[in-house]
Structure 1
Amino acid sequence: MTRIRFLPLPTDKVDALRRGGTDAHGLPPERTLSDGSDNPCRHCLDFIPEGAGMLVLAWRPFTRIHPYAETGPIFLCAQDCPAWHGAGRPPILSSPDYLLKGYTADERIRYGSGKIVANAGIEAYAAELLADDEIAFVDVRSARNNCFQLRIARAD
């Protein structure tokens, strides 16, 4: 079975956003406080505690703009947090199900790969997709709001 790893947003990009850099729409992130209810940070891949500073911004997890480069809202801890390096499943994957989609190296959706997957099946379906050499990575999105959660790649 193909081994997988969960990827956080790159620390250099997160640091730039925290310093007032602009998001996918060219705007600075909104700064607010977490209400403690499902505010997942895409860097530490954990939930932002109630009352903690939080950034809300538009994120496009692709290297360039093209028809498949979806953009949507995400949250980040406003203060420094460690990038996810954990073994196993990140805490933010707590919903009952997610939309998983495989992408080729040129960031195009591999048609037929998109599927709503029960939470318990995330690792197995991602490994199945990544067993196909034409699929370079798998994006995990909310099954309800389509928000980007994280990316899954082959483990080294």
Structure 2
Amino acid sequence: MNAELRYEGVQSSTLDRIRCNRHDDSGNAVVPRRSGGGEPLRCCLTIAGAGENIALVAYRPMTAGGPYAEVGPVFIHTADCAAPDAGSFPIDFRDRRAALRPYDADGQMLDGVVADPGTGEVELKRLFEDPAVDTVQVRNVVAGCWNFTVRRQG
């Protein structure tokens, strides 16, 4: 089975709420800053260029509850930005090492794999060959921070 996949950053409704309220869902104030360049943005799934208006906020990517529903730091633009192309692997993340964590529909982690630069798409398709896999979180290898979530289309 070769699943059609959907790539998701921070949900637009969550971004709207955080930007409007000027704090994240954990109560941390949104503190705008200029990017130094290189920060992975989880709103549009791009890498920031120098001088962009960004903020570091706390975010919980797991929609199901449970012990794996952790909250972690993510960079976002402080203003509206282009939504990521949900139909393709984010180009700015292709040449980065990543930890791929598959979860079942109940939010339990099934396995894990480290994808070398350029292999993330192949590894994701392999993980989704298992029908028990509901979502895969793509994470930073060193810091463990969530980058984006992948799920089957439909």
TM over 0.5: yes
**Secondary structure of the structure 1 residue equivalent to 2:56:** strand
Deviation at 1:25, TM superposition (A): 2.5
Q: What per-residue deviation string (whole Å, max 9, x for no partner) do you get for residues 20-78 of structure 1?
A: 35424322222211111x21211211122311210111111123553111221100011
Report 1:10-25 matches (<5 A): 10-25=11-26
The alignment's C-alpha RMSD in Å is 1.8
Report SS of the residue matched to 1:144. coil
In structure 2, the CA distance between the partners of 1:151 and 1:25, relative to structure 1 (3 Å rule), is: same
Corresponding residue number in structure 2 for 1:31: 32
Q: Secondary structure at the match of 2:126?
A: helix
Q: CA deviation at 1:89?
A: 2.8
Superposed counterparts of 1:65-84, under 5 Å: 65-84=65-84
Deviations 1:97-152 (A, max 9, x none): 11001001111111xx2111112221111112112121100000001110100011
92-101 vs 71-80, greater mean Cα deviation: 92-101
Structure 2, gaps ≥5 residues long: none
**Which sits farther off after the overlay, 78-87 or 48-57?**
78-87
Aligned counterpart, 2:148:
150
- State the aligned residue count: 153
Q: Which letter does structure 1 place at the counterpart of 2:54?
A: M
CA spacing shift, 1:116–1:109, aligned 2, 3 Å? same
**Residue 88 of structure 2 is aligned to residue 91 of structure 1:** no
Aligned residue type for 2:112: G
Moved over 4 A (4+): none
Partner of 2:132: 134
Unpaired segments ≥5 residues, structure 1: none
Query: How many percent of aligned residue pairs carry the same amino acid?
Result: 26
TM-score by length of 1: 0.87
Q: Say whether the 8 Å CA contact 1:47–1:91 is kept in structure 2.
A: no
On the 8 A contact 1:4/1:123 being kept in 2, the answer is no
The alignment's TM-score, normalised by the length of structure 2, stands at 0.88
